Amino acid sequence: MFKKVLPLSSIIFLRFLGLFLVLPVLSVYALDLPGATPFLVGIIVGGYALTQAIFQLPFGTMSDKIGRKPTILFGLIIFIIGSLMCAYSTDIYMLMAGRFLQGAGAIGSVATAMVSDLVEEEKRGKAMAIMGGFIAMSFALAMGLGPVIASSYGINVIFFITTGLAILSIVILFTKVPTPPKIKHTYHNDSRTLDILKDNNLLNMIIINTLQKGLMTMAFVLIPIILTKEQYGFNWEKSELWMAYLPAMIAGLIAMGPAAVFGEKKNIPKQIFLISIVLFLASFLIMGYTTSSKIFVIGVVLFFIGFNMMEPLVQSMISKFARVHQKGAALGISNSSAYFATFLGGTFAGIYLDFSDREMLTASVSVVIVLWLIWTVLKLQNPVRHSHLYIDNDSVDFDKLNALEHEHIAEWYINETENLVVIKYVTAEIEEDDLKAKVSR
């Protein structure tokens, strides 16, 4: 399974590394461009996410028609053009157009669909966790490298590096990523997207993914501006931003592994998410009210720890909570919502800095985080552990299967390519041999 997921995860890693490299420094460098205001800078920081949200569904649909690899290639080419436009930007509006174009290459849903194509259903949660881990690693690595590269060579060099990473992704796509098989799942109930939002656990995961990404871009508008602009009292040089991001990067990487292991193996993702939300609250309170640069850096570190603890588990939990016929739709809704929040988080922070102050912004954000924490405590449940029974299609009595009603059977579906019936059941409640006897001819 790992060999199937590794090349595709590498592409996701390289693409997100390119996007994340500019995040820790983009807001403060963009303010120096002609025509820049905090509001426009906020749009630029989160701008790629708006077009990501808009084009997720069209790219997913395109991949169903022309194939996953050609669609990913098309998205990476658009991303390259947008990166080059950013690199050669001479004013705030050209940079904005480049950021929007970067996001228009929306291959996230296509990559997720490709994982579903390549990995068996019962291993898909682990595959999603691996991909989430690669995204978290790209985030942490970018936080250390971005400020150093920007201060030494200029932010345009970061966009050139981003272009190179995208070209490398294309090479990996056609040399290492296996061509997915054509597998069709047939489910015995009709699929309704509304059912996803009615499922408390799926709805909670969508909320978690959305707020996490919105807070991320908000933080990346605030951190460099607050540390470097004179009116906030810290007066750091741009070249000194690495002193905030490097310890945060190290702490985030250290926290990510144990969180993913305990969340998956111990089946306690809810507890991991609650710890992360508390860390988000603490980090924004510190960054919003402290007058000490050392304490401010502690706030940045807490934010990165919370983000990296949460990220590897988000996609995995959505995959676990969703039924087989809902996975693509659930991930699509969640990712689109998260990208819109990414755009709105940056825009919201920019508006606040234009018309208010960081203390008022912190108070508003803290209220949202507290409500998020309470909601998660009351609503989110840890996933039930399931197993899968695979039976040859010709051995199944479908009258018995259709009549089988059991509270501990989550779902069943037919894998037509491999001529198998797959029954998903609660591991602790049903014996595999007993279940097999109930549905066999």
Please state, in angstroms and rounded to a whole number, the distance separating the CA atoms of residues 425 and 409.
4
Please state, in angstroms and rounded to a whole number, the distance separating the CA atoms of residues 163 and 77.
9
Map out the domains of the chain with their CATH numbers. Answer: 2-379 (1.20.1250.20), 386-439 (no CATH)
H-helix or E-strand containing 391? strand 386-392
Q: What is the pLDDT of residue 182?
A: 54
Chain centroid offset of residue 160 CA: 24
In terms of C-beta density within 10 A (0-12 exposed, 13-18 middle, 19 or more buried), how is residue 351 classed? Answer: middle
Q: What are 127-145's pLDDT values in tens digits?
A: 766 777 788 788 778 878 8
CA nearest neighbour of 110 among 261, 331, 365: 331
Residue 193 has pLDDT above 80, yes or no: no
Question: Higher pLDDT residue, 327 or 13?
Answer: 13
* CA-only gyration radius of the chain, Å: 23
365: its two tokens: 């954000």
Q: What is the pLDDT of residue 278?
A: 98
In DSSP notation, 21-73 reads HTHHHHHHHHTTSTT--HHHHHHHHHHHHHHHHHHHHHHHHHHHHH-HHHHHH
Please state, in angstroms and rounded to a whole number, the distance separating the CA atoms of residues 344 and 106.
18
Per residue in 266-290, is it b (16+ CB within 10 Å) or e — as a string?
Answer: eeebbebbebbbebbbbbbbbbbee
Q: How confident is the model at residue 324 (pLDDT cuts 50, 70, 90)?
A: low
- Of all residues in the chain, the percent with pLDDT exceeding 70 is 90
Instruction: Say if CB 227 and CB 236 are below 8 A apart.
Output: yes
- Under DSSP, is residue 323 helix (H, G, I), strand (E, B) or coil? coil
Backbone angles phi, psi at 237, to 5 degrees: -80, 155
Sorted by sequence, the CB contacts under 8 Å of residue 119 that are 6+ apart come out as 1, 4, 5, 127
